[in-house]
Amino acid sequence: MRFLAKSLVVSVALAGCLAEGGGVDGEQTEQESTTTYVDILDFSKTDQGQWYDLIHNLNRQFDDVCGDTFCEGEYSNIQPLTFSCAVSSKQGSVKDCAWTFAAAQVDVDPRNANIVVDAPTYQCHFKMKTTAPKLIAILAGDDPLHAALPGAPAETPSIYDQLSDCFDHPIGQTPGEFAETGALSYVSARDYYTSSAGIDRWYAAKQALKDGFDRVCGDTFCSGDFGDLQAMDFTCAITKSTGNVKSCMWTFGGSWHLVQTQGGAQQITASTFKCPVMMHGTLSQLLDVLTAPGTDQPINRPLPGMTTSAYEALLDCLP
């Protein structure tokens, strides 16, 4: 019976691509039937402030390398959401670590001005055999993204190496269809201007919206289940001949993770949200509103032709 129990544990671990942490460096093997699991943040030896700092650094390192690696593919703006681990409550043996991401490919149909959004998510699980304190020490090193993980496969020894396969399997792709007839009358705001000054104004306006969202999210949208919401892309469809804004769309990604006490599996929900933002006017008028100097946040300013702001447009869209 003891051999059978061990065989079942190994089978579950292989099937779920999870790392069984028991037996690391001579530690006493924990019995699967009696072991309980917690989020690594709730493990008694975890410094929560340090963990958040380490994951912030890991996210930053991913952002630094993505442009020349993973973000060169179909999706150019892959955003990290949450890195979480399930560990045994007594010894801290790592059962599973997962990193969620969101991405968005946004285009404007040149014939009908529809904004076409393909916004998948990714749930990347990492194979390793270690404990919470040892994993934290690895993440605290100079190069956590590329550091070797104890017990990882020889061909994919690091977090970075194991991400490659994960990004080949996006979840929830929704590639849209484009009209085949009609005049090519519309363009994305990013392609409307041809001068460097106009292009710079557009990207400054987008950044102002993102910065504003980041400032307000912690006390508003990010205080719920999706505490890691990220602004992915803000896009407007523009009439080429007049510069009028036909419509705008703001795309977001978020996730939440819950460790199952028995078995240690992580229940993960990762989602993307496509939020229409209404206004009436030209692209130039929109940029004037979003880039004008002032002490107020651009996200809270009334949009052209409206009494409502971009922030208010999110209230019925984001969870």
Q: Please, which residues bridge with residue 83 across strands?
A: 99
Task: Report residue 210's pLDDT band, with 50, 70 and 90 as the boundaries.
Answer: very high
pLDDT in tens, 87-112: 999 999 999 999 999 999 999 999 99
Instruction: Please determine, for residue 12, whether its predicted confidence score (pLDDT) is greater than 90.
Output: no
pLDDT in tens, 20-34: 444 444 444 545 668
Instruction: Please determine, for residue 8, whether its predicted confidence score (pLDDT) is greater than 60.
Output: no
pLDDT in tens, 289-302: 999 999 999 999 99
Q: How far apart are CA 169 and CA 280, in angstroms?
A: 39
Non-local (6+) Cβ contacts of 272 within 8 A are 102, 104, 119, 120, 121, 172, 232, 251, 252, 253, 254
- 263 closest CA partner among 46, 96, 42: 96
Written as six digits, the tokens of 129 are 């055999």
Written as six digits, the tokens of 195 are 């001068």
**Res 33: pLDDT:** 67
**Res 34: pLDDT:** 87
**Res 139: pLDDT:** 98
Q: Which DSSP letter does residue 283 get?
A: H
Instruction: Please determine, for residue 17, whether its predicted confidence score (pLDDT) is greater than 60.
Output: no
pLDDT in tens, 62-84: 999 999 999 998 999 999 999 99
pLDDT in tens, 246-297: 999 999 999 999 999 999 999 999 999 999 999 999 999 999 999 999 999 9
**Res 22: pLDDT:** 43
Instruction: Please determine, for residue 206, whether its predicted confidence score (pLDDT) is greater than 90.
Output: yes
Q: Which residues of 269-286 are buried (b: 16+ CB within 10 A; e: fewer)?
A: ebbbbbbebebebbbebb
Q: How far apart are CA 187 and CA 168, in angstroms?
A: 30
Question: What pTM was estimated for this model as a whole?
Answer: 0.88
Q: Is 18 in contact with 125 (CB distance < 8 Å)?
A: yes
Helix, strand, coil fractions of the chain, as percent rounded to 5: 35, 25, 40
pLDDT in tens, 129-174: 999 999 999 999 999 999 999 999 999 999 999 999 999 999 999 9
Non-local (6+) Cβ contacts of 174 within 8 A are 117, 118, 119, 120
Q: How far apart are the first and last CA of the chain?
A: 48
Q: How far apart are CA 107 and CA 176, in angstroms?
A: 9
Q: Please, which residues bridge with residue 70 across strands?
A: none
Non-local (6+) Cβ contacts of 52 within 8 A are none
Q: How far apart are CA 93 and CA 20, in angstroms?
A: 7
Task: Report residue 193's pLDDT band, with 50, 70 and 90 as the boundaries.
Answer: very high
Helix, coil or strand: residue 103: coil
Q: Please, which residues bridge with residue 185 across strands?
A: none
